[in-house]
Amino acid sequence: MAVRKLEESNRLFAVEVDMENRSPEDIARDAALQINALFDRLIKEQEEKDDQNTV
């Protein structure tokens, strides 16, 4: 499992989930957790940029 940037783009990400011998529910849960973590990271980065711009 991994979230990574594609083609050096700041807006395109890929979520990789191991699907072998796993239930659809487990696959969906792992993908959802990764997407949630990605959004948390992007929000944190944006807040840091906003803080730098207000100083």
Number of domains in the chain: 1
CA atoms within 13 A on the CB side of 14: 10
* CB-based contact 38:32 (threshold 8 Å): no
Q: For residue 29, what are the domain limits?
A: 2-54
Model confidence pLDDT, tens digit, residues 4-43: 566 666 677 778 888 999 999 999 999 999 999 988 988 9
Report yes or no on whether pTM surpasses 0.75. Answer: no
> For residue 12, what are the contacts with CB-CB under 8 A and spacing of at least 6?
5, 6
DSSP assigned state of 15? E
Which regions of the chain does DSSP assign to beta strands (E)? Answer: 2-5, 13-16
